[in-house]
Chains A and B, each alone.
Chain A
């Protein structure tokens, strides 16, 4: 059973929908800047990839004025999910069928309000409207209710590989014949919790991040949401298709709680498993959308894993240089970019890289126009959770 991507929705620091994101990508217009809406001690000293809309604007945009306790994470998911189902031209019967599922992810969800909620607990009076919105599955319940989804729903939380795992899970539900259609993706908003947490690791940079550059200083945290409508071949005949999901693989490093193994064992194994499912050789991959956070540790290891498997034969770039690292949403956002790379035949360049660190892999600094048959999208996470997803052209 083939699984196709038939709809996509995306909001990030570089645009409020898929078209705006693609335009920014084409023009290498960055979304990394001083944050306007995030409340944090670090907004004046660190750069972020913040979505250029306030919560009030997002509520209006998604027609959600009657709902209370809406976190920014949920609002971002509303924007991207609604765009994806409209793009796939799903009608309400299709969305509300038992054959349609919703597999999403978030690492932050209501932690955007963690300090406020924690301060609330020992006070008298009415609790915060966000008290029921803390759990990382809250946006899933809200989206399912808003759209009337009756099929399987789930919220995956494996840190920065979360939405790549959601895509893998959704594809499996279709391939195994359990569902005909699954909306997959993830959403994460900027939060004091993650800003302060990543700052404690000393891997946030005060300049636009430079993945794979020898002088890279760290990552820019970002926010956003990305969703893809996956459909079984049998139910999408004659429909517009962006790409086919041909392979996926997850592997654990079993090395360190927050660092990948210096030999790149986990990332390499995830890519190998994905290639095996796709039944293709490394030489057939045209482009790798790298995890590429811009930290010393990640980029070294990822580049080594790519070097070992692909050498210089494949083009590699990280689009986090202009979107920021959107954590639980990153896998889905980069999956959408991967699908568009195939559809448009244009490989995005590596922005901000001046002096390439590992010169044994091929990192273009200009857009490459060519026929793109297969793309790997990598997502690696704390705990050594590594996931690779392969997208192929529609045949």
Chain B
């Protein structure tokens, strides 16, 4: 049978909106305008969540099922219309753009791993973060974001009420296993499946359970 490890949630944050999250406090979090102007939506949400979790450096596991979809669409549009692709758009299309901007902003040279495992993304991101914490003995930021607000999304979207969403926890390995709970299988309505596991951990944390088991 699968093994488990007990993790302790140090801090947590989540945010979502039907179309676009309005206030991500970008000017305070990213004072340099040149850097701020390059940020993708995923990066802005990730930086906001890291700030809410009071995390400013260290190991990061970032996840996104769909990655930088807006950059992908921009590039695909350019290919279909046979027009020039913006180099910045292509640089921003890689799935690790968001945590890379975090490392730039915070001059963080520590390890960053990016996960994209479809609808299992937050489950796998939590497993990866737990392994990082287990091996290093350090606190790890686990953050998953999704930005689905693209042209014609209403024609293909049947799975998420909120087109922009993100969730983050800072975790460490629990020092003892007293009061550790299994992650509940409840789901928060309208949130994309790829975020659900992390959202559940945050909900349990807000109800007073700071320790959960991660299958690993």
Q: Which residues of B contact A193 (CB under 8 A)?
A: 72, 75-76, 79
28 contacts between A and B (CB under 8 A): A98-B1, A114-B79, A118-B76, A121-B152, A121-B155, A135-B66, A137-B117, A151-B2, A152-B216, A154-B117, A156-B116, A157-B94, A157-B116, A158-B95, A169-B128, A176-B135, A193-B76, A197-B85, A201-B87, A252-B110, A252-B112, A257-B97, A257-B104, A266-B109, A382-B91, A383-B99, A384-B104, A385-B96
- By a beta-carbon cutoff of 8 Å, the part of chain B in contact with chain A is 1-3, 38, 65-67, 72-73, 75-80, 82, 84-97, 99-101, 103-104, 106-118, 120-121, 124, 127-128, 131, 134-135, 152, 155-156, 216
Shortest beta-carbon distance from B138 to chain A in Å: 14
List residues of chain A with CB within 8 A of the CB of B65: 135, 137
B102 to chain A, nearest CB (A): 9
Q: Please, which residue of chain B has its CB at the minimum distance from the CB of A136? A: B116
A250 CB contact (under 8 Å) in B38, B107, B113 = B113
* B85:A196 contact, CB within 8 angstroms: yes
Chain A residues in the interface with B (C-beta under 8 A): 41, 98, 107, 111, 114-115, 118-119, 121-122, 135-138, 140-141, 151-159, 165, 169, 172-173, 175-176, 178, 192-193, 196-201, 250-258, 265-266, 269, 381-385
Contact B109 A269, beta carbon cutoff 8 Å = yes
Q: Is the CB–CB distance between B90 and A178 below 8 Å? A: no
Smallest CB gap from A269: residue in B? B109
The answer to whether B116 and A254 touch across the interface, beta carbons within 8 angstroms, is no
CB distance from A15 to the nearest CB of B (A): 28
Check B86–A200 contact: CB distance below 8 A: yes
Residues of B within 8 A of A196 (CB): 75, 78-79, 85
Question: How far is B134's CA from A172's CA once the two chains are assembled, in angstroms?
Answer: 10
CB distance B155 to A122 under 8 Å? yes
Given A111-B72, A252-B109, A158–B79 Cβ distance below 8 Å? no
Which has the most chain A C-beta neighbours within 10 Å: B79, B96, B127? B96
